[in-house]
Structure 1
Amino acid sequence: MLHILPYLATQRLRDVRPVHIQRAMKEVAELSDSMQHKVLLTMRQLFTTARQNGLILSDPTEGVKTTSHAKPQKKTHLTLEEQEALMASLSDPRTRCFVGLCLYCGLRREEALGLQWGDIQGDKLTVNRAITFLGNQPDPVQELKTKSSHRVIPIPQPLQAILGAASRLDLHGVPCADGRPMTQIAFKRLWDKVVREAPCEVRPHMLRHSYATNLYRVGIDLKTAQYLLGHTTIQMTANIYTHMEKEDAAASVIQLERYLSGGSQEGSQARGNFSESSQKVVSGGK
């Protein structure tokens, strides 16, 4: 009521007009979306009750809206430095295995959980199944999302090391702690452990998107990237590449501004660092 009284307390009920409501809302426009909704809802309840009781003919809050705030774009992928820091922070073999499969091979969450040790042959793995959940339990039907999801993916050296150090006593590469196929609750516990140890913000799908970003950074062509990611259409892959091209364009403008202001040496160093990072992705080394 503190946000409403200064604009309505001196007005007779029938004299309140939409302009008075808009003035009140203008004063709270910089507050949170939830606070704006509370203020507007309070006024609407007041005037709806008044109209229902015949005290006013029309509701002055009709058509009045809150001021939407621009929300920061959600981060979609990890930088190469963040990827390395994340893997270095994980201590549990199961979390390392899950994160490694999604980050280094671009597996979807359900594909990583469905991977069995028999799907790994030498330096390649085959995506044969996916584990989704019915309630808490794994769905016995472990079909892949689409036909294009079935693919053979080369395993980079860092992931080979992770898989080589993992216990292979269980059927799945990422099982429950007791060896059973993953359940929804068990996965939540596993991911909570990742979040606690991670040095940066991370969500499961960010790992797969980071893999796609790495493919773009080292110049993998669209058709090959589509296959490796298991996308149904090449447009899905192109959308990721286009997004990265826009990011690169924005970064290029910044580099140009630095160059024009006398920072050419700094720009050269930045290009050198990018080249070095790209080689790391290609070789799978650190």
Structure 2
Amino acid sequence: MSVQRRKDSKGRVLKNGESQRKDGSYMYRYTDTSGNRKSAYAPDLNTLREKEDEIQKALNCGIDFDNGNITVMEFLKIYLSQKCTIRSTTEQSYRKILVSVEPYTLSRLRVNQVKLVDAKAFVIELSRDGKKYSTIQTYKSFIKSAFDMACEENLIVKNPFLFPLKKVMVNNTVKKAALTKSQQESFLEYVHESNIYRKHEDDICILLGTGLRIGELYGLTVKDVDFKNNCIYVNHQLVWLCDRRNNIKRMAKIHKPKTTAGIRTIPMTKNVADCFRHVIMTRNQLAQNLEVDGYKDFAFATDFGLESADNFSKALKNIVNAYNRLHPNEPQLPHVSPHILRHTFCTNMINYGMNIKTVQYLMGHSSVQMTLEVYTHANQENVISDFANIMNKCESECDDMHPAV
């Protein structure tokens, strides 16, 4: 005996779980991953079935959006779990955002309850707690992308995080400035003469002479440094990632460069080559045998293992603080980081007149715009020097055109 299936008012056969309501709209009943009965609604059958497909996909992945009643924190975790193609370093950054966001009221709100006023209140709270504009922008961008997915899943109608951050708070971000020539001289002279900090001199000189990213530098193996042809082969970088189960324990991993443009060959000056020779000659013999993802014989190996960006950054901070304490009556050194040393190399090359496309290649940038807009700027010292050189050239040309009678 055949079972007679239910039909809607237009005579269409309804699937299991589907029903038509008295007002003509449609409802779909299903069981979530926790065994609870849930309902989804739509004005027409086609829209309902689109929702059914989305619900089934989510259930197959073990995801339960609960029709938007899920909390923001739960939803952010689901959103992150769906981003399977991002780099490990990016994933780690996103997980840190989740940890930072969790204490705030926003994390406990239901996704379908979050309004524009809640989103703005969240960024204001972050600001009051001392978070920098750039950090808040990063948090907002991540959450906005998650709420974009909520819109796609029809959990909400409009994304409450679409507003420009500058309309809520003042952008007080200070652009990272390259070291001036005098600052570079003072910094290097102090490091060279210091019994405490001289051990970092080679790393600093190499970064200032190559523009390498710190992960690229510490990922170099001996065979990547070609003394015969005076060049460095960059095709990977060393990164340190926190164990997902233990945010304290860190693991060294080898990744590809930041972009495909990061795969490059960088020429070495005599000074840079000498620094590399000294680094390789004085490295710890046991630590150099460490292997990471098939790579071994690292150029930078200390008594404690492989070098890390965090340790070097702390060393640079200590150097600046020590210098400024010892020279209170002289111009103070600004904040120095591995990225600022790279930034300084780029700015120096352009100030020296190097072709912008060549600088782009050396920096491993994917576009010239990044080289120009992000890494170069004018400072007073360079302006005065460039102006004097141009004026001298102009005066010389004028004298040639109008010789003295």
**TM bucket by the smaller chain?**
0.5 to 0.7
> Taking structure 1 as reference, are residues 219 and 226 closer, same or farther at Cα in structure 2, changes over 3 Å only?
same
How many residues are aligned here?
194
State, as a whole percentage, how many aligned pairs show the same letter.
24
CA shift at 1:88, angstroms? 2.2
TM-score when normalising by structure 2: 0.41
Structure with greater helix share of residues: 1
- Contact 1:176 1:186 survives alignment (8 Å): no
Question: Hey, what does 1:175 align to over in structure 2?
Answer: 301
CA shift at 1:104, angstroms? 1.0
CA shift at 1:192, angstroms? 4.5
Task: Give the alignment of 1:40-119 within 5 angstroms.
Answer: 71=172, 73-90=174-191, 91=194, 92=197, 94-119=199-224
Task: Give the alignment of 1:118-133 within 5 angstroms.
Answer: 118-122=223-227, 123-133=230-240
- Contact 2:240 2:251 survives alignment (8 Å): yes
Secondary structure of the corresponding residue to residue 76 of structure 1 = coil
Question: Hey, what does 1:164 align to over in structure 2?
Answer: 277
User: How many angstroms apart in 2 are the aligned matches of 1:249 and 1:188?
Assistant: 26
Secondary structure of the corresponding residue to residue 84 of structure 1 = helix
RMSD between superposed Cα atoms in Å: 3.7
- Contact 1:77 1:209 survives alignment (8 Å): yes
User: How many angstroms apart in 1 are the aligned matches of 2:205 and 2:354?
Assistant: 20
Structure 1, residues 173-226: CA drift from partner, whole Å, max 9, x if none? 333433x22356644554444444555221221100100011101111111111
User: How many angstroms apart in 2 are the aligned matches of 1:226 and 1:133?
Assistant: 26
Unpaired runs of 5+ in structure 1?
1-32, 35-66, 256-266, 273-286
Task: Give the alignment of 1:19-38 within 5 angstroms.
Answer: none
Secondary structure of the corresponding residue to residue 141 of structure 1 = strand
User: How many angstroms apart in 2 are the aligned matches of 1:160 and 1:144?
Assistant: 22
> Taking structure 1 as reference, are residues 222 and 189 closer, same or farther at Cα in structure 2, changes over 3 Å only?
closer
Question: Hey, what does 2:259 align to over in structure 1?
Answer: 146
> Taking structure 1 as reference, are residues 207 and 189 closer, same or farther at Cα in structure 2, changes over 3 Å only?
closer
User: How many angstroms apart in 2 are the aligned matches of 1:142 and 1:151?
Assistant: 15
CA shift at 1:155, angstroms? 1.7
Which amino acid is 1:115 matched to?
A: L
- Contact 1:212 1:240 survives alignment (8 Å): no
Unpaired runs of 5+ in structure 2?
1-126, 129-167, 243-248, 289-296, 325-332, 394-405
TM-score when normalising by structure 1: 0.55
User: How many angstroms apart in 2 are the aligned matches of 1:102 and 1:173?
Assistant: 14
Rg (Cα) greater in structure: 2
CA shift at 1:72, angstroms? 7.9
